[in-house]
Chains A and B, each alone.
Chain A
Amino acid sequence: MTSLLQKLLLDLKRRAKWILGELAALENMLPGDFETHRKDAARRVTRAATWIEHTLHDPDLGDPKLEPNFFREFKRISELIVSIEDTSLLILKRCSQEDRFLTSLLAQICREVGYKDTPPLCGALSFQYFQALMETDIIMTPQGQASELLALPDLYHELAHFVVYRERPVLEVPVLTIIHKYFADAVRKGHQQGSPQSTLDAIAKNLTLWTSLWHVEFACDMVATYWCGPAYGLANLRLSATRGDPYQDSGTHPADDARRIGIECILKLAGEGGAAGGIDRMWQDLKRLSPSVQPGGYTKRYPAQLLEQVAQCVYQGCASLGFRRFSQHQSGSAIVGGAVAQAWEAFQRDAAAFPAHEAAVLQALRAKIAVE
């Protein structure tokens, strides 16, 4: 009799076969970057289908001692198939003019910053601002992204998510070590000074927030600033202006104001103290317009000293990985990096005249970056 797991595997096999058929139908119809992604997706689904077939013929599949482990493997494979259907197949089938332009743009950014892996595919299909989808090597952007320059630094942040994940031993792990040490020292000092339990609990909560997900966001901001320079800080300010309270945080994201400090730390390390000061002044102006109150315990939650240590670590990590800092781009070679920096300069100089500048630059970018 066919077991439930066998039935689930047969169902997954059918779905994998369907996706492979859809991917095969797109062969020789896509531009270069899309074809590379199509081939990679087909390779991964083929590997998954092979595993399913192999497992269906495993004589121990129904053994009660092993069956739960086979089921867990089935779940990971099922997640892969769903992800490829939901993202890769969606973008490959659409392959719009905007998707092609953004993918070429991202590939150019990758060349400029020294990103070593195959550039992710880009689709202007997001319903939630920018999204980096590591498992399928895709970045989703807002629908209008192909027609604007000021938010382009956020694409660097999304690319940084791939780097922070894939270069975990060089970036994420040392950052985590610094964070743990910092808060362990805070606990030790708290004990020495006879701090109340509530203070020690607050330190423990801050440690959890930092080490769960915040460290990733801080690190991605810092890598993006390393690559993109002051323009990233300015884009961050622009985004923060639309999000309300700069001191508000969540389980996934630290406060925008704290992220600003992290960005400024990298700019200072790169010798751009003047630019950091300029961004800081704009932040003071933003806070004047939106007078939010810094909540109690804020400076202990976001210690400047810890942000400086993390920035130092990320900065060194970027250098050791051979990434090019924004100021290291050779004149004329940073087509996108240069356009982004100039766009922000033009916007600050004359915001009213900026749309004309933006349209001209985008047209030039489309011409320079061959969009097949």
Chain B
Amino acid sequence: MSELSIIAHDYALNADYARKFNDAVLVLKRRYLLGRVGNGETEETVKQSRQDLKALLGSLVAAIEDEGKPWTEDQAQVPADLLERLRKRVKGALEETVTELRGVVEDLGKDVALREPAFKALDIVCEAADETASAAFRRLRRI
């Protein structure tokens, strides 16, 4: 009813997406950039993180490419704030970023190792998602 309820909704949605995305990227970075699993993680954790990231990223790519295409329920999984922030963040490089991210989705599906450029693109999403979650939290707490 008050503004805070709707901001709380927005925060919960953005924080959940940011956390899940970042968690998966962290596991995969350790596996593919440092070449190991560790601190309680296993190859099964890596496999699960690949699946989680594929779902999250696939929805994101579909949502960001939506112009002129019919909207699907899959796209609605992505917070609108994140899409807006991501578009602003990459500005002129949107097409290249989307192409890179689409490639990552394909690689995640093919079970191939992710490389440095893939993580650069993934980090852009991690940062944008983190910024939207933090901004919603600040609005929620009036800080």
Interface residues of A (CB under 8 A from B): 54, 57-60, 63, 65-66, 68-70, 72-73, 75-76, 79, 82, 86, 126, 128-135, 154, 157-158, 161, 164-165, 168-169, 172-174, 176-177, 180-181, 184, 208, 211-213, 216-217, 220, 239, 250, 252-253
| Nearest A-chain residue to B68, judged by Cβ | A184
Contact of B4 among A76, A133, A157 (CB under 8 A): A133
Q: How far is the CA of A66 from the CA of B10 in the complex (A)?
A: 27
Which positions 1-50 of chain B face chain A at CB distance < 8 Å? 1-13, 15, 18-19, 22-23, 25-26, 29-30, 33-34, 38-40
| Nearest B-chain residue to A65, judged by Cβ | B33
Contacts A69-B26, A129-B2 known; 14 new A-B pairs at CB < 8 A:
A58-B39, A60-B38, A66-B33, A69-B25, A72-B22, A129-B1, A130-B1, A135-B15, A154-B1, A169-B73, A177-B76, A220-B5, A250-B3, A252-B3
User: Does the CB pair B2–A126 fall under 8 Å?
Assistant: yes
User: Does the CB pair B5–A131 fall under 8 Å?
Assistant: yes
Contact of A76 among B1, B29, B72, B133 (CB under 8 A): B133
| Nearest A-chain residue to B142, judged by Cβ | A128
Neighbouring B residues of A174 by C-beta, 8 Å: 73
Q: How far is the CA of A161 from the CA of B2 in the complex (A)?
A: 11
Q: How far is the CA of A58 from the CA of B23 in the complex (A)?
A: 14
User: What are 23 A-B contacts defined by CB distance under 8 Å?
Assistant: A54-B40, A57-B39, A58-B38, A73-B19, A75-B133, A86-B141, A129-B2, A130-B5, A131-B1, A131-B5, A132-B8, A133-B4, A134-B9, A158-B5, A161-B5, A172-B76, A176-B71, A180-B71, A181-B70, A211-B80, A213-B6, A220-B5, A252-B6
- Name the residue among B2, B7, B127, B130 with the largest chain A CB count within 10 angstroms: B2
Interface of A, secondary structure class, is helix
Contact of A134 among B8, B40, B119, B126 (CB under 8 A): B8
Asked whether B51 is an interface residue with its Cβ less than 8 Å from the other chain, the reply is no
User: Does the CB pair B12–A165 fall under 8 Å?
Assistant: yes
Asked whether B123 is an interface residue with its Cβ less than 8 Å from the other chain, the reply is yes
User: Does the CB pair A65–B34 fall under 8 Å?
Assistant: yes
Q: How far is the CA of A321 from the CA of B92 in the complex (A)?
A: 44
| Nearest B-chain residue to A76, judged by Cβ | B19
Q: How far is the CA of A128 from the CA of B7 in the complex (A)?
A: 13
Neighbouring B residues of A173 by C-beta, 8 Å: 73, 76-77
Neighbouring A residues of B1 by C-beta, 8 Å: 129-131, 154, 157-158, 239
Neighbouring B residues of A135 by C-beta, 8 Å: 8, 11-12, 15
Neighbouring B residues of A220 by C-beta, 8 Å: 5
